[in-house]
Amino acid sequence: MILNGRQLCTPVTYEKIVALAGGEGFAEDSGRVTVTFHHAPQVKSEGSLTKGETVLVNDRTTIEVVGIMKEYFLAGPGSTASAIPPVRKAVRRTSELGVAGDYYEFGVFRGSTLYNAYDEATSIGNASMHFWGFDSFQGLPEIEGIDSNPLLGSKKDSPPIFHPGDYQCTLENVVYHLTDCGVDWNRIDLVPGWFEESLKPTGSPPTPCPSVWHKMERAAVVLVDCDLYVSAVPVLEFISPLLQTGTILIFDEYWNLGEDAGEMLAHREFSERHPEIVSKPLSKFEISTDPSGVVSFGPRAFTIERK
């Protein structure tokens, strides 16, 4: 995300990198550590830091120290994750309007957006909101069919925007990051598994609403950040019984693959299957990276009206 022509970054010190790697034993010599910064899938740079030095990274950067991968976790509201500003706005708005319910996030990655939802609710005194995070914790699944399309606006023969394993962060690392931020684990549940498995009806006979089995409450805010059509379809069906009038539904990668793929297609088909659930656009919640001001990539937010 670019704001005012400058990418939002945060400083990471030598001491923080060594701590993430497990202690001074990972330093190559007295006060120096060599690292590889994985800024995005297939994008990396090499470097080294000594005591007292600082490097700027964003929340999508993974730090490789002596062959061990450790994710740097940027928790604050200045994170570059595009979903964070609309999520914080949504938590505040639903709280102010009295839309009681929980926060649901599908596609947790390192947990920075989930933490920001938690932090926003806590800062405004909403202690009743519970936070649910769903993720495979193995990255994206195999990319097939329409999900293998290139980025919207690129050449037809361009490589796919997504790759299997993109945005992988283990459950253990997410728990570490959130614990390090001081969250109350009585208010957070993380549900691991591929969505077609973890979100399917359970029991014998199958429970028609998996949310009953999970003992979940109605949704105040929902973030769909799973990128792919094949993932967004089961997510929307799963959350449909919990959507209420006033729910704010946010898609983080709504535009990237165009109207006939990805989250946008899944949402359109969902709306056709469920005419009782009306999605009304919320333009103020969106982030535009287009200098003209036209939203072309990034989040898309809706408020729900249930007939």
Asked if residue 78 belongs to a domain, the reply is no
Model pLDDT, residue 227: 82
Q: How do residues 213-267 score in pLDDT, each as one tens digit?
A: 567 889 999 999 988 888 999 999 999 999 999 999 999 878 776 677 788 899 9
For residues 247 and 269, membership in a common domain is answered with yes
For residues 287 and 216, membership in a common domain is answered with yes
For the domain that residue 227 is a member of, what is the CATH number? 3.40.50.150
Asked if residue 166 belongs to a domain, the reply is yes
CA angle 135, 129, 58 (to 5 degrees): 50
> Of 42, 71, 100, which residue is a domain's last?
71
Model pLDDT, residue 65: 58
216: buried, middle or exposed (CB in 10 Å: 19+, 13-18, 0-12)? Answer: buried
Model pLDDT, residue 25: 46
Model pLDDT, residue 128: 95
Model pLDDT, residue 39: 56
One-letter amino acid for residue 183 of the chain: V
For residues 67 and 96, membership in a common domain is answered with no
Number of domains in the chain: 2
Q: Determine if the pTM surpasses 0.85.
A: no
Range 260-264 contact pairs with CB under 8 angstroms and sequence separation of 24 or more: 260/146, 261/146, 261/147, 261/149, 261/229, 262/146, 262/147, 262/149, 262/227, 262/228, 262/229, 262/232, 263/224, 263/226, 263/227, 263/228, 263/229, 263/232, 264/300
Asked if residue 77 belongs to a domain, the reply is no
Model pLDDT, residue 110: 83
Asked if residue 280 belongs to a domain, the reply is yes
What would the two tokens of residue 98 be? 């009295």
What would the two tokens of residue 298 be? 């990034």
First to last CA, the chain: 36
Residues with Cβ < 8 Å from 54, sequence gap 6 or more?
11, 12, 13, 14
pLDDT tens digits for the chain (307 residues)? 222 233 345 566 777 666 655 544 444 444 666 666 655 555 566 667 777 777 666 555 666 654 444 444 444 433 445 677 889 889 999 999 999 999 999 999 888 889 999 999 999 999 999 999 999 999 888 888 877 765 554 556 666 677 777 778 888 888 888 888 889 999 999 989 888 888 876 555 555 555 555 678 899 999 999 888 889 999 999 999 999 999 999 998 787 766 777 888 999 999 999 999 999 988 755 544 444 443 344 678 899 999 9
For residues 46 and 116, membership in a common domain is answered with no
For residues 165 and 113, membership in a common domain is answered with yes
Model pLDDT, residue 269: 96
Asked if residue 243 belongs to a domain, the reply is yes
For residues 203 and 258, membership in a common domain is answered with yes
Give 222's strand partners: 104, 249
Q: Is the separation of the CB atoms in 214 and 191 below 8 Å? A: yes
Asked if residue 97 belongs to a domain, the reply is yes
> Of 44, 71, 98, which residue is a domain's last?
71
For residues 224 and 295, membership in a common domain is answered with yes
Model pLDDT, residue 70: 44
Distance CA 229, CA 262 (A): 4
> Of 71, 106, 130, which residue is a domain's last?
71
Q: Is the separation of the CB atoms in 239 and 103 below 8 Å? A: no
For residues 117 and 23, membership in a common domain is answered with no
One-letter amino acid for residue 85 of the chain: P
For residues 167 and 299, membership in a common domain is answered with yes
Asked if residue 13 belongs to a domain, the reply is yes
Asked if residue 76 belongs to a domain, the reply is no
Domain with 256 in it? 84-306
For residues 104 and 13, membership in a common domain is answered with no
291: buried, middle or exposed (CB in 10 Å: 19+, 13-18, 0-12)? Answer: exposed
Model pLDDT, residue 134: 93
For residues 36 and 129, membership in a common domain is answered with no
For residues 67 and 97, membership in a common domain is answered with no
What is the side-by-side order of every strand in the sheet holding 43-50?
A: 43-50, 32-40, 62-65, 68-71
